[in-house]
Structure 1
Amino acid sequence: MRIRTGMIALIGAVALAGPALGGTKDDVRDLQARMMQAEQAIANQSAMMVRVSELESRNQQLTGRIEELTYKLEQANQRLDAVTAALSGGGATGALGDTAMSGDGLGDGPVDLMGGASGAALGSDDPIGDQIARETAVDQAGSVGGGDVSLPIDPNAAFDYASGFLLAGDYQRAKAAFSLYLEAFPNHQRTPDAQFRLGEIHLALGENAAAADAFIAHIRNYPNNTRAAEAYLKLGTAFARLDKTSEACTVFKTMKSKHPNAPSAVVQRTDLEMARIDCK
């Protein structure tokens, strides 16, 4: 009797537990599915973090490269500006000094970059002047360089190409390259600078009429350029070297009228030039 009662109770318990066990299995399967989803999400997040880390590393590399290129560009521009300033005698303490700007007898011939009135060579203290003087002498002897200049198609690369000759002291090829640049890229943003540098090279080589033409073109075509005031200064200098004192004085006065806020160095140089040729 007791055994039978126990069996009945066991059967009843199993019957009652059946639905509960079924629910537990569903819960386990649901939990397993959730765990798989969580694991997948963690894996995706890990992959994303790795990708973000890679991108951050790449960004740091690119930033470093940009900074390096920016520094090199600034250094190149500084060297280029220093060379062109020296070429044109742009400052009282420039590499060429005031000899090229204020020497006697500066007509349309080459500027006496080797020592002014005394004829004393500047020697190693003025390597740019020595180089220009040597090239001028070679040109006068009948062997003119610069015939093998060929610009790249890209305008920025072409400007750098022409500037490379200038930095290397090859002024004849620099002149030829900048002249070609003006023909090939008349509307590029760097064309005004090419026009200005061409004028400076002409001025340094004593080609004063050509220098005047170059600076007149710069003033006419780019009146609002950052170097417009300096172009007036260089144009007046070219006229003074051509013994066109009246025209030079007019240009200097026009510069001071049109550009009252010109850089102080340009104003000082203009005043010096006006005093030198006795502008009234």
Structure 2
Amino acid sequence: MTLIRTAAMTFAAALLFASPASAGTKDDIRDLQARLAAAEQALSGQSQAVLKISQLERRLEDMTGEIERLQYELDQANTRLDAVSAVLAGDSNFQAPGDFSAGVPGGGPVSLMPGASGDPIGDQISQSSGAPAGVAAGDPNDIALPLDPNAAFDYASGFLLAGDYARAKSAFTLYVEAFPNHPRTADAQFRLGEIHLALGENAAAADAFIAHIRNYPNDQRSAEAYLKLGTAFARLDKSSEACTVFKTMKSKHPNAPSPVMQRADLEMARIDCK
């Protein structure tokens, strides 16, 4: 644009100095100036059009990314519902995925009735802070699981009691993988679900409790696993699924401990189960 203006002005100046000013020369200059203004306007309009196209392209990219994110969340939700349906139907062969991704934040661990659960770890899970003696808190990769299953369970429980959820989650995950057939593995799987609830990872908590119900249907904490699975779904705003889980718990475990039943009743009333 600057080159065009410069060339036009140079040509106009040449016309002025080459011969005395005349009406024709003035008309030529005015015509040249008009053409120059029209060229500048055209270039300006072209630049604005290019800018608008660039903005539209960026908006299209953003919308495409948002659509892909929503599709991923929908796929995850459908997978979760399939897993719950399979568990409630008693399909022990159904293999749920290892992770449903992070859920909606909220809550913390589900305490039944303070001091009444008979579970010192469950009672203290949200009351302690710090880390096991001699170990700095916070790095989930700093885990060296003992080879003895009982020692390994106590090691993982120490992090949980100290409120070091990151290390506790890593330790119990390793425990479940390392000792799949040990009698304490069902409890380790249950603890994983509790940790996810404590961290507000409600979808991952649902995954953990589904695995517990599926793999350890006769575990003494099966009723509580149903309770906390329903709680995870309620926190994910899946009230219908949560109500189904609570009702299934009552049907399959009519003699569940009183605190578990009372908590289920409270949760069902809170989300208005029919």
After TM superposition, the score normalised by the length of structure 1 is: 0.52
Gap change, CA 1:170 and 1:144, over 3 Å in 2: closer
Give me the whole-angstrom Cα distance separating, in 1, the residues matched to 2:171 and 2:163: 13
The residue aligned with 1:255 is 249
Give me the whole-angstrom Cα distance separating, in 1, the residues matched to 2:160 and 2:181: 22
Give me the whole-angstrom Cα distance separating, in 2, the residues matched to 1:225 and 1:171: 24
Gap change, CA 1:190 and 1:87, over 3 Å in 2: farther
Q: Residue 272 of structure 1: CA displacement?
A: 0.3
Gap change, CA 1:189 and 1:170, over 3 Å in 2: same
Give me the whole-angstrom Cα distance separating, in 1, the residues matched to 2:150 and 2:207: 24
Residue-by-residue CA offset, 1:218-237 (whole Å, 9 max, x unaligned): 00001110000000000000
Q: Indicate whether 1:208 and 2:198 are aligned.
A: no
SS in 1 for 2:272: coil
Letter in 2 for 1:197: R
The residue aligned with 1:91 is 112
Give me the whole-angstrom Cα distance separating, in 1, the residues matched to 2:231 and 2:146: 33
SS in 2 for 1:206: coil
Q: Indicate whether 1:151 and 2:169 are aligned.
A: no
Q: Residue 92 of structure 1: CA displacement?
A: 4.5
Q: Indicate whether 1:240 and 2:261 are aligned.
A: no
Q: Indicate whether 1:222 and 2:216 are aligned.
A: yes
Residue-by-residue CA offset, 1:54-97 (whole Å, 9 max, x unaligned): xxxxxxxxxxxxxxxxxxxxxxxxxxxxxxxx962322447xxx
Gap change, CA 1:252 and 1:128, over 3 Å in 2: closer
Letter in 2 for 1:170: D
Residue-by-residue CA offset, 1:212-259 (whole Å, 9 max, x unaligned): 000000000011100000000000000000011100000000000000
Q: Residue 166 of structure 1: CA displacement?
A: 1.0
Q: Residue 128 of structure 1: CA displacement?
A: 3.5
Q: How does 1:77-156 map to 2 (within 5 A)?
A: 88-93=109-114, 128=126, 131=129, 145-156=139-150
Give me the whole-angstrom Cα distance separating, in 2, the residues matched to 1:127 and 1:258: 27
Give me the whole-angstrom Cα distance separating, in 2, the residues matched to 1:127 and 1:198: 12
The total of aligned residue pairs comes to 155
Structure 2 alignment gaps of length 5 or more: 1-106, 116-123, 131-136
The residue aligned with 1:170 is 164
Larger RCO (alpha carbons 8 Å, 6+ apart): 2
After TM superposition, the score normalised by the length of structure 2 is: 0.53
Residue-by-residue CA offset, 1:184-220 (whole Å, 9 max, x unaligned): 0011000000000110010111000110000000000
Structure 1 stretches (4+) deviating beyond 2 angstroms?
91-94, 126-132
Give me the whole-angstrom Cα distance separating, in 2, the residues matched to 1:212 and 1:204: 12
The residue aligned with 1:194 is 188
RMSD value over aligned CA atoms? 2.5
The residue aligned with 1:113 is none
SS in 2 for 1:226: coil
Gap change, CA 1:127 and 1:260, over 3 Å in 2: closer
Give me the whole-angstrom Cα distance separating, in 2, the residues matched to 1:198 and 1:174: 8
Does the aligned pair in 1 maintain the 2:108–2:200 contact within 8 Å?
A: no
Give me the whole-angstrom Cα distance separating, in 1, the residues matched to 2:129 and 2:254: 36
Give me the whole-angstrom Cα distance separating, in 1, the residues matched to 2:181 and 2:210: 17
Using the aligned pairs only, state the percent identity: 77
When you count helix as a share of all residues, which structure comes out higher?
A: 1
Give me the whole-angstrom Cα distance separating, in 2, the residues matched to 1:277 and 1:241: 10
Letter in 2 for 1:151: L
Give me the whole-angstrom Cα distance separating, in 1, the residues matched to 2:114 and 2:157: 23
The residue aligned with 2:174 is 180
Q: Indicate whether 1:272 and 2:254 are aligned.
A: no
Give me the whole-angstrom Cα distance separating, in 2, the residues matched to 1:127 and 1:242: 22
Structure 1 alignment gaps of length 5 or more: 1-85, 95-125, 133-142
